[in-house]
Structure 1
């Protein structure tokens, strides 16, 4: 017997105690510093992070830009509270509901807590709600009145309707604060950090429960989706994982009929999960969305080898009637296949460390560690556990056919004999069907669309999904992205300065301005500096003004002097009418894309204020024709109750503009379409105005990390595929055997991803990492089958008899694994979290396809290639039924 196994069987009690103490130690290592963080500062407690932004490293350029722009514009992430009342003809615009909205807004402003010397929670000054935003109204020609849209709850139905009419008259509020159908309201509650969203939402739900109106309240937004997922994923792990293990336990009992015996694989899985997760936390790593799924990935792999051992032990025990002899024979047969499957599985997951996504790197490394712990526990704990069982526990234990001979036919044995005959007699047909499957899979793979959305991590009946659907049906969109525009040059060149000055002179439209423009054209062609040209023009125009005898002419020349003097200062780019018209055109292009509900930017403020300054006529809702006219509207807006709102859309130097883009969908594919639409528009028109663009915001960040993850996963998979192929070639000392061993793996991955494309399932985060799981599980069966087939061939001397043996005990072990593990993770389908459903479905699918590929495909390939695979066989066996 192998020395490791031998030692385990000699001192089984001590070994089991050691594993028990190891598990308790790992639990304590996590629990103690988490429950009492100050008691042991040298240990790391449990840290949870569900922020997809952390899928990118902190120094990732797009993340650095995102954080810089949020700081520059004073922006925070929002929790969105939507209020709808479909049964009321006026919707929420009634006295009772608006009063509740007013109360909730005031309550939301109090949701602030002191933590570690820092105030965290809602930012009251930036809340977007009827009682916090201004109504902009005409107050006589040339004057604008700013008053709160809802300074107090309405007293009459007419007051409630008036609030709606005022809000819909303001472009920045219509479709954002008030729904486009005028019947719903959305409140935007900025929070200091995303991890406060769940706490804020919980407090809001408690307050809303006190209200009596017929309104329906919805709470949604990317921050709340991400934070709530973090809270629920641990509840899910505590329910679904044990349920899955219970079903695995029941299935194993149906096969082996010994409760005491099948506890061993459960203990192996427990030790592997505790070891991997304990080390993850103890080493200071954060439990992220990815690492939360480590137990789900480790458990099926942890049980696989144990089921192989129990299957062999079950089949062989009646022959030996001795535990130790049976174990010796079993471990001799399985030792190297288990070692190699562990190495290949660890290599597959460890290769994820090569991806550019930190949480994926951690996930891969600690799943690989979990697999190693599972192997070590399997080859030591399972034999030790068997040796500790009382002798009487093995009475009437084992496979009846092992004693009664090949004439014994259990349903499982009969089924496998049939599979063996089919794979031998119809080898060519099977290969043709597999090739056809590849073609179909290729078509499916070509249809795969890369997409994710944290809100869709919840089931359709979850309150967050319901809220998301309800609000995005009524409003311009609850998903926010931000588009910045900046000049392509940091400092003005001579040409840019001259163009700017000429634009201002042309806007004056006087003879004096025309004369100044002509002089400008004659003196900018030489070697004079920018300052010299401005000084020359200023002196020339000042002299003309001083010599003027008519008051009107003096004023005209004074306007020229003011225009010339204004270009001495750095250009305030986004006060220029032409630039604002460009932004207006870009906003129209965004709306026409079909993916953007609306956008808000400086032109919307300028047009609204300009309309009210000029009497409130809709025709005056336009951008003024001069810089001075634009400046007047902006100065007027700064007299409102929320002047800071302007600088959330443009920097104080007016050289960087921020467009708020609202999307009805948080899907990455939709955000990417918007990005492409803007890129196309800027490629066509951006150079004309000398602007460049960039993006930030949570919705955009999600597209960046997923693109990196997909590219990283592909690179990782290709690398690990090659590594596993090399291991197979070395193990079997044959390139052909190595290639054949990879066949089930290749089939499994092609079929899985082909099916994903055909059914229209998005290629999201869980799907991306399933390739690594495919690699680990699919190759497992092939290694066991091929290793034992080669060994058995030395005894039988021909492929037909070898195949008959292979579809006895070896095939039973593989099929038992397929059934136990494949069906065992279906309880994950009951999870309310979609990633867990995805993992449950595809783990089962991977195991079933890998089993089919191994039990049907491998024998067919070997049958067709037997003359090359077994060159010492005197004569290849004809394609006729194998004798089992």
Structure 2
């Protein structure tokens, strides 16, 4: 006996055993769900040894950087904006409160109080006479008067390190940047801040909290809740639609039981094997449910149409399963292969998603062919007495809306096949145009609805400040160790223009360089020898010889520059290059602002010259730069310098603020930096790399899209091969791929035409497209072959195909398309996207199957059915 028949007979003979095994398996695997660990960190989309993650972690450690929660306060109504005593008192209170936030259960999860950027925790750098600067807290206490508040505003706006970051240019907004030790503490910080803010008399002040860590961590919390709400709601909607179609409450419970057992078992297996519940894996139930239900609907649909002919539940279910066993097996294998191909993407969570959806699909198939017959046998025969009875009883009646339209489609597709084919090709061409317009883009903040507090905060704060999205451009010098000859040559080249107007000093200095170079072994010894010689020369300069004094001083400055060549981020030419790069990026429009060691040097240098704006420059000498940096070390927070440069001055970090976290905007910044380095070579060879959450999102999204594309193409090929093997014909295999191809072309063409970003959920939905579109095609083609082999007449075959088989496909299309509409009301955009495109995929794949396949089979009937016609 065929293995399928043996399985079905076992189910029919021992229905309670089958049910008990299924329930026990569900309970055992479901019990593992309590071990769930939620992880919504997009950083974990990449493997731990991925270069960008390794470099990102190294950068955070090297520059003592943390992920940041941004709290902003905006006051549009007060004439002084937020710079009034009441508003600043609130911001002071919030800053002090935020500094205390820590997880009582885990001391490692906390706000890093020392590194908070807030008015009470940053220095105001002011001049204290020529050659001196003074550091004082910007706001040591909340101001008592408006005049004091305005002084705080003016001081902050005068500091380029704070302007656009701490204080908005218009004075209407102020921000606090809260560094946190772990990203998964961000939601807790936001929650505690909102509680504190709720206790205020807010008046005209409006408070906003945002930042990528907040978006990612909050999404994780809401995702978990949404999964528990949306999936059951979708199940309820599917249940109600099935009741409309089959009107037998007792019978339609069975597909719901299968879907529930499949989802629970699959999720239990996922969690029990040590996998975290990630953004991707949270969608597994939503992807499994339609596939788990479609086979059951095929069975119930044919059972519904056939039962009144047989009047015997066992004979009816045997008849139905005999027809559907092969198509259901084929569709399950191909759908599972499509999802399993995701295991070859470079994204670990996507790999787990693909593997466990594939497992869930095969589990759903197994439960369907075992449990549905068992469930039918456990029902009382008399309970099915009126099952399948319609009004009027004649199933051929055209009074049924579905029947009337299906028969019209069948007549149209077989009667005017070239018109149908031509129309679909025209639609496909429009889809191809749309596909060329697709832009790959994602932003975790946009995973929330536009009305969500985080999304609103993101919009408001980024309109006031230079940007709440952070990226770090890390520069490293690649200067090689100088030989004595190279050092002598460098000094000679460096000194000639400085000493050109004083020939006697120039001659003696160049001669001393040449003579000393012959007497020493290293560049360091050369510098030491010349330092002694030139200090003696300086001592011998006449008191009234200013030109000579300046010339020998310049020579000594050149020695300092030579000694500090490895401390490249003290070099004026390098710092000026960084400043020019920063200005260039701002001019391009995607960067709101950037901070670097250059900004620190320029600000301190200005205050050393009594606040003269003309001295907001990089000093001309290494010594001048060093003096500015030493002066900064006298501030309240000297370690802040090490966020921007390493203590050995060999690596520098440019902190870049962007107003948008969209991948396309970050990618534009990457291109701008590459262009600048190509067209403006640095004064020495500089290596540059990127870090920061905004950049990491670009990397994993790119890997996801390219990985999905590769896996989709490979799974497309695998499914074609499987179809060829299962149908034992390459031609039939190719026919099975046509509805899939057209569905993808049209759905993704619409994505491009409407300007919808190709983001994470859209990328994943390509796999679902493959699974469901092939499902309908296999059912239609397999049933067509079976019917043609029996009738040997294509016209009669088409008529029969547009009865029960077409009704089953239509019912599936309607049930799944409409059944997942509850997802459209989810507060999380990825769930809305899945709902919209799941419905679209189901609808169009069903439509493409019932329009295109009969038209193609009509045109090709003499060739494609030659075996069936030969046996007639």
TM-score using structure 1 length: 0.94
Question: What RMSD in Å do the two structures reach over aligned CA positions?
Answer: 2.4
Q: CA deviation at 1:328?
A: 0.3
Which residue of structure 2 lines up, in the alignment, with residue 743 of structure 1? 738
The aligned residue for residue 13 of structure 1 is 16
Q: CA deviation at 1:29?
A: 2.2
Matched, 1:171 2:160: yes
Equivalent residue for 1:545, pick from 537, 541, 546: 537
Residue 121 of structure 1: aligned partner = 110
Against the structure 1 CA distance between its residues 756 and 856, is the aligned structure 2 distance closer, same or farther, given a 3 Å change threshold?
same
Q: Distance in 2 between matches of 1:447 and 1:576?
A: 46
Q: What does 1:263-274 correspond to in 2, within 5 Å?
A: 263-274=253-264
Please tell me whether residue 338 in structure 1 is matched to residue 328 in structure 2.
yes
8 Å Cα contact 1:507-1:626 kept in structure 2: no
1:683 positional shift: 1.4
Q: Which moved more, 1:557-566 or 1:825-834?
A: 557-566
More moved, 148-157 vs 436-445: 436-445
1:405 shift after superposition: 5.6
- Partner Cα distance (1:179, 1:348) in 2: 51
Separation of aligned partners in 2, 1:701 and 1:538? 49
Change (3 A) 1:544 1:263: same
User: Hey, what's the Cα distance between the residues in 1 that align with 2:138 and 2:535?
Assistant: 52
Distance in 1 separating the partners of 2:192 and 2:763: 36
Offset at residue 403 of structure 1 (A) = 6.4
Change (3 A) 1:520 1:404: farther
Matched-pair contact (CA < 8 Å) for 2:344–2:711: yes
C-alpha distance in structure 1 between counterparts of 2:197 and 2:159, whole Å: 28
Query: Is the CA contact 2:527–2:562 (under 8 Å) kept in the aligned structure 1?
Result: no
Report what 1:531 is aligned to: 523
Residues 126, 190 of structure 1: 8 Å contact kept: yes
Per-residue deviation, 1:519:
4.0
- 1:145 maps to which residue? 134
Task: Please tell me whether residue 95 in structure 1 is matched to residue 90 in structure 2.
Answer: no
**Matching residue of 1:197:** 186
1:37 corresponds in structure 2 to none
2:717 counterpart of 1:722: yes
Relative to structure 2, which stretch is displaced further, 611-620 or 486-495?
A: 486-495
Q: Please give the alpha-carbon distance, in whole angstroms, between the structure 2 residues aligned to 1:543 and 1:599.
A: 41
Cα deviation digits, residues 473-501 of structure 1 (max 9, x gap): 11110001011111234544668745764
Find the counterpart in structure 2 of residue 704 from structure 1.
699
Matches within 5 A, 1:144-293: 144-214=133-203, 215-293=205-283
**Partner Cα distance (1:87, 1:205) in 2:** 22
SS at match of 1:131: helix
- The 8 Å contact of residues 724 and 733 in structure 2, kept in 1 or not, is answered as yes
3-state SS, counterpart of residue 481 of structure 1: strand
CA displacement at 1:875 relative to structure 2: 11
Instruction: List runs of 5+ in structure 2 lacking aligned partners.
Output: none
| Partner deviation per Cα, 1:71-123 (whole Å, 9 max, x = no partner) | 0000001000010011212111111110011011001010023545x432100
* Correspondence for 1:753: 748
Instruction: Check conservation: 2:484, 2:526, Cα contact below 8 A.
Output: no
Alpha-carbon shift at residue 692 of structure 1 (Å): 2.1
Q: Specify the SS of the correspondent of 1:689.
A: coil
Residues 702-752 of structure 1: per-residue CA shift (max 9 Å, x gap): 000111111111110111101100111111111111111100000011111
Find the aligned partners of 1:435 and 1:525 in 2 and give their Cα distance. 80
How far 1:565 sits from its partner (Å)? 6.2
CA distance in 2, matches of 1:573, 1:816: 71
> Of residues 491, 499, 506 in structure 2, which corresponds to 1:514?
506
Q: Distance in 1 between matches of 2:53 and 2:674?
A: 20
Q: Distance in 2 between matches of 1:520 and 1:691?
A: 32
Note the C-alpha offset of 1:465: 0.3
Distance 1:589 1:88 in 2: 35
Please report the TM-score for the alignment, with normalisation by the length of structure 2. 0.95
Does the 8 Å CA contact 1:686/1:692 hold for their aligned counterparts? no
Q: Please give the alpha-carbon distance, in whole angstroms, between the structure 2 residues aligned to 1:404 and 1:529.
A: 108
Q: Distance in 1 between matches of 2:319 and 2:282?
A: 39
Distance 2:524 2:582 in 1: 39
| Structure 2 counterpart of 1:79, from 59, 65, 69 | 69
**Matched residues in 2 for 1:534 and 1:90: separation?**
60
**Counterpart Cα distance in 1 of 2:462 and 2:561:** 45
CA distance in 2, matches of 1:201, 1:669: 28
Distance (whole Å) between structure 1 residues aligned to residue 61 and residue 269 of structure 2: 36
Q: Distance in 1 between matches of 2:531 and 2:185?
A: 60
Residue 761 (structure 1) shift: 0.4
Q: What is the aligned counterpart of 1:772 among 753, 767, 776?
A: 767
Q: Which of 850, 853, 856 does residue 845 from structure 2 map onto? A: 850
Per the alignment, residue 36 of structure 1 pairs with none
Deviations 1:675-703 (A, max 9, x none): 00000001122354321211100000000
Task: Report deviation, 1:404.
Answer: 3.2
Partners of 1:407 and 1:554 lie apart in 2 by 111
Residue 130 of structure 1 deviates from its aligned partner by 0.3
Q: Distance in 2 between matches of 1:468 and 1:495?
A: 57
Q: Which residue of 2 aligns with 1:881?
A: none
> Could you say if the C-alpha distance between residues 545 and 822 of structure 1 is closer, same or farther in structure 2, counting changes exceeding 3 Å?
same
2:97 corresponds in structure 1 to 107
Judge conservation of contact 2:560–2:622 (CA < 8 Å) in 1.
Answer: no
Q: After TM superposition, give the deviation of residue 392 of structure 1 in Å.
A: 2.2
CA deviations on 1:253-281 (whole Å, 9 max, x unpaired) are 01000011111110111111111110111
> In structure 2, do the counterparts of structure 1 residues 530 and 318 end up closer, same or farther at CA, with 3 Å as the change threshold?
same
1:285-434 maps to which residues of 2 (within 5 A)? Answer: 285-400=275-390, 404=394, 406-407=396-397, 409-434=399-424
Q: Shift in Å at residue 558 of structure 1?
A: 6.9
* 1:795 and 2:785 aligned: no
- In structure 2, relative to structure 1, the CA distance for the partners of 1:380 and 1:539 (3 Å cut) is closer
1: distance between equivalents of 2:753 and 2:815?
27
Change in 2 beyond 3 A, CA 1:153/1:540: closer
After superposing the two structures, state which structure 1 stretch, 144-153 or 510-519, moved more: 510-519
Q: Is the 8 A contact 2:557 2:621 kept in 1?
A: no
Q: What pairs with 1:821-840 in structure 2 (closer than 5 Å)?
A: 821-840=816-835
Q: Is the 8 A contact 1:316 1:402 kept in 2?
A: no
The range that moved more, 383-392 or 824-833, is 383-392
Q: Distance in 1 between matches of 2:489 and 2:177?
A: 42
Give yes or no for the alignment of 1:486 onto 2:473.
no
Pairwise CA distance, 1:391: 1.8
Q: 1:148 to 1:520 in 2, by over 3 A?
A: same
Provide the residue aligned with 2:585 in structure 1: 590
Is 1:602 aligned to 2:594, yes or no? Answer: no
Distance between the aligned counterparts of 2:332 and 2:691, measured in 1?
Answer: 43
The answer to whether the Cα contact below 8 Å between 1:541 and 1:560 also exists between their aligned partners in 2 is no
Distance 1:243 1:799 in 2: 43
Please say if residues 534 and 564 of structure 1, whose CA atoms lie closer than 8 Å, have aligned partners that are also in contact.
no
Question: Matched residues in 1 for 2:516 and 2:255: separation?
Answer: 85
Residue 399 of structure 1 and its aligned partner are, at CA, apart by: 4.7
Paired residues of 1:79 and 1:188 also in contact (CA < 8 A): yes
* Structure 1: distance between partners of 2:115 and 2:575: 25
CA distance in 1, matches of 2:699, 2:593: 23
Distance in 2 between residues matched to 1:753 and 1:134, nearest whole Å: 53
3-state SS in 2 of match to 1:865: helix
Distance change >3 Å, CA 504–CA 729, structure 1 → 2? same
How many angstroms does 1:664 deviate by?
0.3
What are the equivalent positions in structure 2 for 1:20-35 lying under 5 Å apart? 20-31=23-34
User: Quick one: distance in 1 between partners of 2:839 and 2:516?
Assistant: 75
Answering whether residue 800 of structure 2 is matched by residue 805 of structure 1, we say yes
Q: In the aligned structure 1, how far is the partner of 2:695 from the partner of 2:320?
A: 55
Distance 1:521 1:655, change over 3 A: same
Give distance in 1, aligned partners of 2:14 and 2:164. 73
